[in-house]
Structures are given as structure tokens and as C-alpha cells.
Amino acid sequence: MSECTNFTEGEFYQAHFDPRAYVRNFYSSPRGHSDEKDFLTFVLGVFSRLFSTGKHRGQRLIDVGSGPSIHCVISACAHYDEILLSDFSDNNRREIEKWLKNQEGCLDWSPILQHVSKTEGKRPSDLEATLKQRIKKVLKCDVRLENPFDPLTLEPADCVITSLCLEAACKDMQIYRQALHGLTKLLCPGGLFVMVGVLSETFYKVDEQLFSCLSLKQNDIEEALKGFGFSIQEFNVLPAEDQNNSVSDFEAVFVLVATKNI
């Protein structure tokens, strides 16, 4: 990735990440970006299937590294009383707050809400109302810290979700494993851990702004989680199409589902 001379960590996101361009590029339709072969449809489908069973529920869900997005908690919102979203970037958190408060010019999540509602046989207005009622806080987080929410100490959650965060925030495998361990400590014993990520990606673009990514292999992730006392239930993979992808170079997108051993 010749365009990047340094890994684009959190401070770079704070200065250069445009949340509105990001949502426009990757979340304006349920397919996601046209270069990424139904990336978003695949992810939303796994979340709908996972939570529609009603098996996974509880008091608290924490979404770590939400970006400006709410899509990862749409299917789960009916099953957890309290949802906490979080991100390092002030601008990302500000966009979520604007949407929660229905402020003028807030991001439009109706195409994604309509897609999930149709999949799950619900009304979009009901789903949106439940989601906004259940999201209680939007917090600052830094996954590079042992406690990502320092100086706050959160009560253990029944579910932790993270999407496209760790590989974007961690410049090497040592930091990645430390960050993953920090996330797993947020969970109650028996709790559900869901991670969306990309395999073998080194970069992605938002408009023309380049962001770097830690290239991961499936066994790297599985071995780390097993070492932290997790049982992997699913590792769902959608390979990238062999085509000219102008916005990223991932080989596959995955949705991992694991439980913390009691």
C-alpha cells in the first residue's frame, strides 16, 4: 500500500475521517458499496438470522467502535434492554447523537432499516422507535487501552459487538490481540461476542482518503479468541469477487460468533 507511509490510527481518524462520506459510500443502500459484492447485505443477513431466534438476549449490549453507524444493533435491539454505542472519533459520535435526537440534517438510515424490517417481518417505524429507545449512551472508546472506556468502568455486558474496528485501529498483531482481550473482558461469562471484520485487507478508501488496515487471517483471530477462553460458534465468510475493487483490497468479509466460557 504505497500511498500510506504510517498506519492510520485513532488520531488520524479524529482529523481526517468524514462520517457523512463514509455512510454515503458504504451504507446508502443495503448492498453497501457497489465494488464490494453485497458486503453489507451479507452482514445484515447474519445479524438478522442470529438474533431472530430469540436465543440471545439480556440486559446490556455494547457496540465497540460503532463509527457513525447504527446498523450492527438493529436486529439485536429488541432483545437487549440497554444498548451502548461507542467510537474514538468525536465526529462519529456526534452523527449518532444527531440521529438519535432527530436533528435536522441527520444521517438517513431508512434504506437499511427498511431492508432489515422486511427481512424480519417488522414495521420500519416500530424498529426505529425500539432502537432509539434502547440506545442509552454513545461513549468515547479507544480499543488500544486495556480498558477501552477508561476512565469509565462499565458493568459486564451480555453481548459485545464490534465491526471493522480492530483491524483499522491496531497496527500490529500484538496490539490487535491486546485490544481483542480488552473487548472480551467487557463480557459476562456465557456472554455473546460478535465480530464483523475483513481478511487480508491492507487499505480502504472513503472518497479519496486512504485508511490503512491490519491484514488478518482467520486462524489468527480464532487462536486468539480460544486463548482468551471463548468457544467459536460460527465463522461466516463471504469471499470477495475477483474484480477491480477501487475502495478496498479485502479477500473476504466475515461475521464471527463466539461465547465466553463459563
Alpha-carbon distance of 143 to 178, in angstroms, equals 9
- Residue 216 gets the label, from left (phi > 0), alpha (psi -120 to 50) or beta, of beta
Alpha-carbon distance of 77 to 83, in angstroms, equals 7
Helix (H) or strand (E) holding 18: none
Tell me: is residue 27 an annotated ligand-binding position: yes
Alpha-carbon distance of 75 to 134, in angstroms, equals 12
Tell me: is residue 249 an annotated ligand-binding position: no
| 208's grid cell | 479519496
Tell me: is residue 142 an annotated ligand-binding position: yes
Judged by DSSP in three states, 9 sits in coil
Alpha-carbon distance of 162 to 197, in angstroms, equals 8
Query: Sheet harboring 252-260: ordered strands across?
Result: 135-140, 80-87, 58-64, 157-163, 187-199, 252-260, 230-239
Q: How many other CB atoms sit within 10 Å of the CB of residue 262?
A: 8
Tell me: is residue 92 an annotated ligand-binding position: yes
Alpha-carbon distance of 35 to 262, in angstroms, equals 41
Tell me: is residue 66 an annotated ligand-binding position: yes
Residues facing 238 on adjacent strands: 253
Helix (H) or strand (E) holding 201: none
| Residue positions forming the annotated binding site | 22, 27, 65-66, 87, 92, 142-143
Residues making up the binding site for S-adenosyl-L-methionine: 22, 27, 65-66, 87, 92, 142-143
